[in-house]
């Protein structure tokens, strides 16, 4: 399967406590088409930094990133922005829904941005909302929803955008156990049914069990020595791997 993301020899330094310290050090991995990859690491290990480099919110200090087979370094600023916009959808810990738009309008946003006419936005969006158990909420505003509902809206929005790769940063970090489980099941479903790829970063072992592969970010290095392959890895195996790595 063609790689949707390929990261090689990636470095990122941050000024921490007044000194320049490596947050990511020679990090490399790939995410294949239709693959669900989880990167686990404790708080402060650089997970969000890594996703920000992929999504272009921050710049690497070394190494390279390819999206959909194209190296970001070879592109003009404009091409790079378009490549990212076409390739990457986002799911955030705090949902990032627009508060003044309804559920329907939030999910339709990527279609509006892509220039789809208003009359043609409703049908695909209503279909996604029905699938996600949110049809009755289509006219609600984000503040009228539970956390689990907000996250389902944000996954529906990411699917509406049609990008093949979803970057998910602690998507259950702000949810109850039950709502978090539902969100993880939906993410797995988008891999199985919609053939999207998911790159999940989390410190939650339960969430990691939904992935095809689990990698560990420890002291800036990415480790794959545990050979954890899924889906359906037991949560005990994930805990064992974490304690073997002392994280």
- Please choose, out of 37-45, 72-80, 171-179, 206-214, the segment that lies near ligand ADP by the rule CB under 6 A: 37-45
Residues that contact ligand ADP, how many (by CB under 6 A): 12
- Taken as a whole, the chain contains a residue count of 247
**φ/ψ (deg, to 5) at 95:** 70, -45
- Label residue 201 exposed, middle or buried (CB < 10 Å: 0-12, 13-18, 19+): buried
| Site for ligand ADP contains 14 (CB under 6 A) | yes
Cβ–Cβ < 8 Å for 11, 65: no
| Site for ligand ADP contains 16 (CB under 6 A) | yes
Strands 165-169 and 88-91: what pairing?
parallel
Residue choice 45, 48, 163, 204 for contact with Mg ion (CB under 5 A)? 48
Question: Residues 4-43: x/- map of binding to Mg ion (CB under 5 A)?
Answer: ----------------------------------------
Strands 36-40 and 197-202: what pairing?
parallel
- Please choose, out of 9-17, 44-52, 143-151, 207-215, the segment that lies near Mg ion by the rule CB under 5 A: 44-52
Q: Tokens 């404790």 belong to which residue? A: 42
| Site for Mg ion contains 172 (CB under 5 A) | no
Q: How far is the CB of 208 from ligand ADP (least distance, A)?
A: 14
**Does residue 216 sit in helix, strand or coil?**
strand
- Please choose, out of 29-37, 46-54, 89-97, 133-141, the segment that lies near ligand ADP by the rule CB under 6 A: 46-54
Residue choice 41, 63, 161, 180 for contact with ligand ADP (CB under 6 A)? 41
Question: Residues 72-111: x/- map of binding to ligand ADP (CB under 6 A)?
Answer: ----------------------------------------
| Site for Mg ion contains 45 (CB under 5 A) | no
Cβ–Cβ < 8 Å for 32, 18: no
Q: What single string gives the DSSP state of each residue in 55-74?
A: HTSS--SEEEEEETTEEGGG
CA 128 to CA 105: how far, in whole Å? 13
Q: Which residues are near ligand ADP by CB under 6 A?
A: 14-16, 23, 41, 43-49
């Amino acid at each position: 399967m063609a790689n949707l993301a390929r990261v090689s020899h990636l470095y990122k330094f941050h000024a921490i406590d007044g000194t320049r310290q490596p947050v990511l050090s020679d990090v490399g991995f790939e995410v294949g088409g239709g693959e669900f990859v989880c990167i686990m690491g404790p708080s402060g290990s650089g997970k969000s930094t890594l996703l920000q480099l992929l999504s272009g919110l921050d710049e690497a200090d070394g190494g390279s990133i390819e999206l959909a087979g194209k190296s970001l370094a070879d592109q003009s600023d404009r091409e790079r922005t378009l490549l990212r916009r076409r390739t990457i959808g986002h799911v955030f810990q705090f949902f990032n829904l627009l508060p003044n738009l309804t559920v329907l309008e939030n999910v339709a946003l990527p279609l509006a941005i892509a220039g789809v006419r208003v009359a043609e936005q409703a049908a695909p969006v209503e279909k996604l909302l029905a699938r996600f158990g949110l049809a009755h909420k289509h006219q609600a505003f984000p503040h009228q929803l539970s956390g689990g509902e907000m996250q389902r809206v944000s996954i529906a929005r990411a699917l509406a955008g049609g990008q093949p790769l979803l970057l998910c940063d602690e998507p259950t970090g702000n949810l109850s156990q039950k709502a978090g489980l539902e969100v993880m099941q939906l993410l797995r479903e988008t891999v199985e049914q919609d053939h999207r790829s998911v790159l999940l970063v989390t410190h939650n072992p339960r969430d990691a069990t939904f992935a095809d592969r689990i990698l560990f970010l420890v002291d800036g290095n990415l480790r794959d020595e545990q050979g954890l392959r899924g889906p359906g890895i037991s949560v005990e195996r994930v805990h064992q791997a974490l304690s073997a790595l002392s994280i």
